[in-house]
Amino acid sequence: MSSITEQTSNEDRMTRYRTDVAARRTRNIVQGLHHHAYIARNLEETRHFYEDILGLPLIGTWVERHNPVTNQRDNYVHAFFELADGSCLAFFQFKDQQYNDQTAISSFKQNNPFAHHIALEVRGFEALEEMKMRLRSGDIPFVETDHGYCQSIYLYDPNGMQVEFTTQVPRTDEMFATVAPTAHDVLADWLSQECLPSNNEFRSKEGWKPGT
Ligand SMILES: [Fe+2]
C-alpha cells in the first residue's frame, strides 16, 4: 500500500501533467480529425452498417461530376457519417464499378489491422457495451482486447476496413504521464537497438478474444 506522501506526490505529478497537456494542445493548430476517407463497395450497404447499426448519421452526400485528381469529368459520390465531435467517416463510390473496385485499397478484402485500421473513441465501458449490443443485433462479429492504456473492440465494415472502438480506462492518464517525457528517447532507442523490452506492463497477454 502506498503512503500518504507517495499518493500526494503522484497527485502533484498528475496535476502538472494535465496542465502540460492543456498547454501542449493549445499550441497545436490542428484541431482534430475532419474526416477519414475510404472507398465503399456499395454505399447503401455502407450506410446501413454505419447509420442503422452503429448509429452514425449520414449528414451529407456530395455528388461530384468533376474529378480534381484527374481533372476530368467523372461521376462519384462522397458521403459523410458524423461522429459526436463533428468529425466524420467519409466514403466514396464511383459509378464505374470496375474502376471503383480496382481503386479500393484492399479490393474490399479484410485489411490486416497493422496495415490500416481506424480507432474511434467511445466514452467509458458502458458506451463500449452499448456498441457491442449494436454489433450483436446486427450479427457483426467482433474481437476485444485490453491495450493497458485503452480497451478496445475490433470489427470489419462491409468494405473490409477494420474499425476499432476504444475507451480510455482509469489508468490511461497515468500511463501517458509516464511515457510522455521519454517518448523521443524511447523512439530513438527502439530504432537503434534490436531488442528493447516493452514499456507497456499493463497490456493483456491474452491477445484478441472473440467478442461476447
Ligand atoms: Fe488501434
Q: Is residue 203 part of a domain?
A: no
Q: How many angstroms separate the alpha carbon of residue 32 from the centre of ligand 1?
A: 17
> For 96-126, how does the pLDDT look when each residue is reduced to its tens digit (9 = 90+)?
999 999 999 889 999 999 999 999 999 999 9
> What distances in angstroms separate CA 201 from CA 147, 149, 178, 204, one per listed residue?
10, 10, 12, 9
Q: How many angstroms separate the alpha carbon of residue 74 from the centre of ligand 1?
A: 34
Q: How far apart are CA 53 and CA 29, in angstroms?
A: 34
Percent over 90 (pLDDT), the chain? 90
Residue type, 21: V
Give the structural domain span for 122.
Answer: 35-168
Q: How far apart are CA 169 and CA 148, in angstroms?
A: 8
Q: How many angstroms separate the alpha carbon of residue 160 from the centre of ligand 1?
A: 16
| Per-residue pLDDT at 1 | 53
Q: Is the pLDDT of residue 156 over 80?
A: yes
| Per-residue pLDDT at 49 | 98
Q: How many angstroms separate the alpha carbon of residue 19 from the centre of ligand 1?
A: 26
pLDDT band at 212 (very low <50, low <70, confident <90, very high): confident
Q: Is residue 183 part of a domain?
A: no
Q: How many angstroms separate the alpha carbon of residue 117 from the centre of ligand 1?
A: 7
Indicate which CATH number applies to the domain containing 74: 3.10.180.10
Same domain, 110 and 74: yes
| Per-residue pLDDT at 5 | 82
Q: How many angstroms separate the alpha carbon of residue 112 from the centre of ligand 1?
A: 12
Q: Is residue 181 part of a domain?
A: no
Q: Is the pLDDT of residue 4 over 90?
A: no
| Per-residue pLDDT at 2 | 63
Same domain, 53 and 105: yes
Same domain, 146 and 61: yes
Q: Report the pLDDT averaged over residues 137-156.
A: 96
Q: Is the pLDDT of residue 7 over 90?
A: no
CA 128 remoteness from chain centre: 13
Same domain, 85 and 21: no
Q: Is residue 175 part of a domain?
A: no
Q: How many angstroms separate the alpha carbon of residue 120 from the centre of ligand 1?
A: 9
Identify the helix (H) or strand (E) that includes residue 152.
strand 150-156
Question: How many structural domains does the chain have?
Answer: 2
